[in-house]
Structure 1
Amino acid sequence: MGLGAYTLWGLLPLLIRLQRPLTAAGILAHRIVWSLLVLIALAFVLKRWPAVRAALARPRLALALCASTLVVGGNWLLYVHAVNSGQVMEASLGYYINPLVNVLLGVVVLRERLGRPEIVAVLLAAAGVTALAVHQGAIPYIPLGLAFSFGLYGLIRKLIGMGPVEGLLIETGLMAPVALLWLATQPILPPGVAGPPLWLLMLAGAVTIAPLLLFAGAANRIRYSELGLLQYIGPTIQMLLAVFLFGERLLPIHLITFGLIWSGLALYVAATWHRGRVTPTMPE
């Protein structure tokens, strides 16, 4: 289940590329609408509606879910933009950085303490991002945006402690009116270009929910630290797709950046493995 979840998340760029005639906003709007329909059906099957009503009845929890909706919506849009614009490698970099961003947010927000190896791991990742920024002459907004937006999303969801199905149902429901309005009023295809078939757009709903269920099933059956190690499958698959399928160039600066970040991740995993603290991410 864990392998299946992170493999599906890693292969997500393939689906987005098949929908590529659509704009990034159009792809995201379809994903939101079809995911909402799947989640509504799932909430009936799993009997999660009482949890949904209870969450909406608590003003502070509802406000926190509004914040998580904004963050995850921005994350989804940036990710689709990265894939659509031929920057899958930078997107994969963002999800390699994300676990170390989680560590940083834990220190800043939750007042967690880091050991020396974890501090060095974060500094190595920062050095990798800095090297890429210096080479590009600009802040690498895609990897940093994806890493920090998803880190903030995970932090909010950790603080409110809500189940994945009902939480994502509320978030998707909040985004749905904007998505429907966008689809009704904005052009999502260039003039004269045929769009992808309807079944391909509907597939976005299943592809959003299936890995989420697999992740939840795996989390109930294996050690959380073991599940955390599997999270690197996703960005690894994305990086391989970028180089070998999408034809993106693997430059020396990428090797330097990835090398520093991978070194940091290896140090972080080695330092935290025996404590069971390798925290998995769930790129919904």
Structure 2
Amino acid sequence: MAEPDGSRDGGRVRSVKSADRTIALLEYLSAAEAPRSLREVTESLAIPRASAYALLVTLVRTGWVELTENGSNYRLGIRALRAGAAYVEHDDVVRRVQPVMNDLSDKLGETIHLARLDGHEIVYLATCPSRHSLAVVSKPGRRLPCWATGLGKAILAHRPWPEVDALLPATLTPRTENSLTSREALRDELTTVARRGHAVDEQESTLGLRCFALPLRFGGAVHEALSCSVPIVRLDPAREAAILTALHAARDRLDAEA
């Protein structure tokens, strides 16, 4: 079938504005800490009010977006949850790592995470929660800045600095008072991580929490990392050594099963 005139630009298929806006809106709502109003949507995404309203109405009708109880704000709907769950359920890396995570969780009793780098953020793919009452758990789908997490630093340390520098935003916004905020400090930290073989989040993403992370290599490049997060009140040198030993054993098992 012949393509309509003007359907290509420079050898590439042109994007569809309505599709671009739909994706931008869903990503905006997924990153929002709370439901957003129509005004916030139009101002944040620079979409005309009438277009934004029509798009929101369509997404509400199809279940991708929901209205809050007061009927004036918008949040992601049940279909977005289903799509995200389907992605994780069918992800090959999650399938391979999940049994190892389960064993790590049984052995250590602490929170175990698997995450993947996406742009300048890490996305949590799977979690085994701690059996302790004092724990911080990041649920699958949550995003955090790569420079403020052990998981992110474990992945970045296996990439050349020019590549890392290119994917970072202009400003490294801190999550806590311990977050790295300068490129020079981050570059030095990644050099240390690469030499040491593991990354440590020293209360950089959450106060009171230390995270130990190891990079995972599937198919050559490093896109994912495995971590164990522990409140610092439960840590001492012997406990840290046991956690790192268990993480290395878990990665060795994954390498052996590859």
TM above 0.5, yes or no, is: no
Bigger helix share: 1
What TM-score, normalized by structure 2, do the two folds share?
Answer: 0.27
Structure with the greater alpha carbon radius of gyration: 2
Which gives a bigger RCO, structure 1 or 2 (Cα 8 Å, sep 6+)? 1
Higher fraction of strand: 2
